[in-house]
Amino acid sequence: MPVLADVYKWTDPEGRLHFTDRPPPADGRLVSVAQAARPVEASPSPVASASQNSATQSGPSAPPPADAAAAARLKAGVAADIAAHDAQACREAETRYRDYVAARHLFRSGDGNERVYLSDAEMEAARVQARREVEELCGRPP
């Protein structure tokens, strides 16, 4: 299953171009940030893990914070951002599930953006999938 990851394109002080999964260091100049899909293996092989680790570690990375308190603040900020994102994703999944359950008809966009109404079986499958998403994202049934 592919996942999206940020890809940072930046140049170093010597003008060399870099592509990394981390923001550029302070002396680097950010050119662009894009999202790229990459496959995720359920259990990567030792060879794949070693090559991914060496590729990740070989490129320059941002310098560590000057003190432990700054590092703790950064980690706490990231944790808060992740928690907020997860909570928003849960709310959106719950809203979608409630809408699907309450709807008498569901549709998808067809060619030319016309509405193509789902059959009863397709509606049931969509509702089941929406409930599954709530359970996965919220960690509980709706």
Q: Return the domain boundaries, the chain.
A: 2-58, 68-138
Q: In terms of pLDDT, which residue wins out, 43 or 75?
A: 75
pLDDT of res. 98: 93
pLDDT of res. 48: 47
Contacts 24+ apart (CB under 8 A), 20-23: 20/59, 20/60, 20/61, 21/56, 22/59, 22/61, 22/62, 23/62
Lowest mean pLDDT among 39-53, 67-81, 101-115: 39-53
pLDDT tens profile 85-128: 999 989 998 999 999 999 998 888 888 889 899 999 999 999 99
CB 105 within 8 A of CB 122: no
pLDDT of res. 128: 94
User: Residue 57 pLDDT more than 60?
Assistant: no
